[in-house]
């Protein structure tokens, strides 16, 4: 598993855990706001990073060989 996938899994679990914490324990308002602002966006992003398809190794090599034309 590459670095991006590992980081994404950690963020996914941490954000999901914090949302569950706020749902179950109902802490004071400002903590819930902080959790919502940080965890909801991170949860969606990390879910996407975990779920996104990855190209095969051969395709990866092909893409690298393609010359970068630059901007």
Partner 1 sequence: MNLMSNILLNVTIAFLVGSLLFGLQRKIMARIQGRPGPPIIQHLLHTLKFFIKESAFPVTAAMPFYIAITAMLCVIWVAAVIVGPVTGGSLLLIFGIYAIQKIVEHNAGSSSGSPYGKLSCVRAVYSAAAEVPLFAVLIIIYFKTGTMNITSLINYQSVHGPLILALPLAALMFFILIMSKSPYSPFAITKGKDIVSGYETEHFGLLRGYLMISESIAWYMLLWIFLTVFLGPLSIFAYLIGMVIISSVIAFINATTPLLNPNHSVMIQVTFAFIGIVGSFALLMI
The residues of the shown chain that bind partner 1, judged by CB under 8 A, are 19, 22-23, 26, 29, 32-33, 35-38, 40-42, 44-45, 47-49, 51-55, 63, 68, 71
Is the Cβ–Cβ distance between 36 and 22 less than 8 Å? yes
What is the CA 16 to chain-centroid distance, rounded? 11
In the complex with partner 1, which residue's Cβ is closer, 13 or 52? 52
Torsion of CA 63, 64, 67, 69, to 10 degrees: 80
In the complex with partner 1, which residue's Cβ is closer, 14 or 49? 49
In the complex with partner 1, which residue's Cβ is closer, 13 or 27? 27
């Amino acid at each position: 598993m590459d670095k991006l996938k590992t980081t994404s899994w950690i963020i996914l679990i941490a954000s999901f855990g914090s949302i569950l914490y706020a749902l179950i324990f109902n802490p004071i308002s400002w903590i819930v706001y902080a959790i919502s602002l940080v965890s909801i966006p991170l949860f969606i992003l990390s879910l996407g990073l975990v779920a996104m398809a990855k190209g095969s190794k051969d395709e990866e090599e092909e893409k690298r060989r393609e010359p970068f034309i630059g901007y």
